[in-house]
Amino acid sequence: MAVESLANRQQIEQNLRELDPSDSSYATDFVDLLLASSRVERVSDVHLQPTDDGLEVRWRLDGVLQLVGRFPRGDAADVVSRLKVLAELLTYRSDAPQEGRIRQARGNVEIRVSTFPTLHGERAVVRFFASEGQFLHVHDLNLPREVADCVQHLLAETSGALVISGPAGSGKTTTAYACLRELVQQSKGGKSIVSLEDPIEVAVDQVAQAQVNISSGFDLASGLRSLMRQDPEVILVGEIRDHETAEAVFQAALTGHLVVTTFHAGSAAGAISRISDMGIEPYLLRSGVLAILNQRLVRRLCHCAQQTQDESAKLGLAVEQFHIATGCPDCDQIGYKKRAVIAELLLAQPGAVGRAILSRSDAPRLQELAVQSGMVPLFSRASDAVRAGITSPAEIRRVFGFGESSRDSS
């Protein structure tokens, strides 16, 4: 059956089962069909987990892992080996983790493959990135309009750091690449734009992209220091992971470079506090940071969603009206299709917020002052999305949890 006509996971599982394990091309056909189906269904990750009696295949669709199927034990090693061949990994090594990429014909990095030895054999995870044509620029991300407009304005600055924060899987890298493309479009080739990444996930035209190599001593911090002698104007640093990288990022931001980077943090105020806890001097933060963009991804309700008055379904959210997921053939009975961005933007502007950064105020105090200065907090944006019927209370709690910070920020 053609991939385009695959309607759901059950059909995909059936098509995989119809392949003949005795055929010499079984592993090749299995991987080709699985990867092609994953592209069509727009999944972000595929997990291949060997078990004591088979191979379990799951994929992550709109942020949630779903079972595709369980397949005979004898096929597991061949399927993972085929992925390793495509990703240019060492097929004879199954006792150590490996990472590689499946490249497009033009050389663009498109898919990342990682393997990991487990009790029952090698586990493999395949990660897909946004296809060409998706999320090209800032306004394609569907951020709140005022947030997107402000980010565009910040990208026109000539110095300072824009920090994109959030937990793993919140779309930080996608936003960072959209910012890069925005800068290329704005400058029309008139700026030197470079990146330091680990790894390079998507090739961006007119950007000089470099991948760090830890084994040779080329890490993010040392690479950034060397890059200062390359006359850059705009720099993307893939992620702030340690004190040395953080210090290099903010020094660059203070010496006439616009820096875009990502950082793991639960909130914009929390990002400021965590970077400060890494030992970065307050004056570097206050003067070097333009803004912190913190974001989450939530699943959008399908058109089959139903409005309800059931108070228990609010799950503690302060909303007057809301919808719940039901399920239909269009959404594979899940109740959701695609995702939406929930975002807050903290501007490190002069005034109360700036003074709080200099005095090393904690995250709750920074949050309070930022809201007083006009920032719409993340959980308020989430509640607004529920009121607008974009998503459900259950989805908000899945992403944000039930912690005090969620209730306090609403």
Lowest pLDDT segment from 10-19, 49-58, 152-161: 10-19
Percent of the chain with pLDDT over 70: 92
- If one counts every other C-beta atom within 10 angstroms of the C-beta of residue 376, the result is 16
Query: Which band of pLDDT confidence, cut at 50, 70 and 90, is reported for residue 409?
Result: very low
Query: Which band of pLDDT confidence, cut at 50, 70 and 90, is reported for residue 198?
Result: confident
Give the integer Cα–Cα distance in Å for 204 and 20: 40
Lowest pLDDT segment from 109-118, 375-384, 397-406: 397-406
Query: Which band of pLDDT confidence, cut at 50, 70 and 90, is reported for residue 8?
Result: low
Most confident of 1-5, 40-44, 222-226, 346-350: 222-226
DSSP alpha helix (H) spans, 268-360 = 268-277, 282-288, 352-358
Query: Which band of pLDDT confidence, cut at 50, 70 and 90, is reported for residue 175?
Result: very high
Nearest to 268 by CA among 287, 248, 290, 291: 291
pLDDT tens sequence across 254-263: 999 999 999 9
Question: Across residues 263-271, what is the average pLDDT?
Answer: 95
Give the integer Cα–Cα distance in Å for 175 and 271: 17
Residue 356 has a pLDDT of 94
Say if strands 109-118 and 98-103 run parallel, antiparallel, or are unpaired. Answer: antiparallel
Q: Which residues of 154-183 are buried (b: 16+ CB within 10 A; e: fewer)?
A: bbeeebbbbbbbbeeebbbbbbbbbbbbbb
* Three-state secondary-structure class, residue 182: helix
| Residues with Cβ within 8 Å of residue 63, at least 6 apart in sequence | 44, 169, 297, 299, 339, 399
Tokens representing 361 are 């105020």
Question: Across residues 12-27, what is the average pLDDT?
Answer: 87
Lowest pLDDT segment from 164-168, 307-311, 374-378: 307-311
pLDDT at 117 over 90: yes
Residue 294 has a pLDDT of 98
pLDDT at 13 over 90: no
Structural domains of the chain in order of their starting residue, each with its CATH number? 3-128 (3.30.450.90), 138-409 (3.40.50.300)
Residue 5 has a pLDDT of 36
pLDDT at 109 over 50: no
345 sits in which H/E element: strand 336-347
* Three-state secondary-structure class, residue 23: coil
Nearest to 382 by CA among 397, 370, 360: 397
Q: Which amino acid is at 316?
A: G
Percent of the chain with pLDDT over 90: 69
Nearest to 285 by CA among 160, 380, 378, 167: 160
| Residues with Cβ within 8 Å of residue 396, at least 6 apart in sequence | 298, 315, 317, 382, 383, 385, 386
* Three-state secondary-structure class, residue 289: strand
Cα angle value 334/388/328 (rounded, 5°): 20
Give the integer Cα–Cα distance in Å for 21 and 307: 48
Provide the angle, in degrees to the nearest 10, between the axes of the packed helices 220-227 and 243-254: 20
DSSP state of 134: S
Question: Across residues 254-281, what is the average pLDDT?
Answer: 95
pLDDT at 169 over 50: yes
Residue 2 has a pLDDT of 40
Residue 369 has a pLDDT of 95
Give the integer Cα–Cα distance in Å for 123 and 51: 9
pLDDT at 329 over 50: yes
DSSP alpha helix (H) spans, 69-144 = 76-86
Determine the length of the chain: 410
Q: Is the dihedral of CA 363, 364, 365, 366 positive or negative?
A: positive
Question: Across residues 140-148, what is the average pLDDT?
Answer: 93
pLDDT at 307 over 80: yes
pLDDT at 236 over 80: yes
Burial environment of residue 359 by CB neighbours within 10 A (0 to 12, 13 to 18, 19 or more): exposed
Residue 4 has a pLDDT of 40
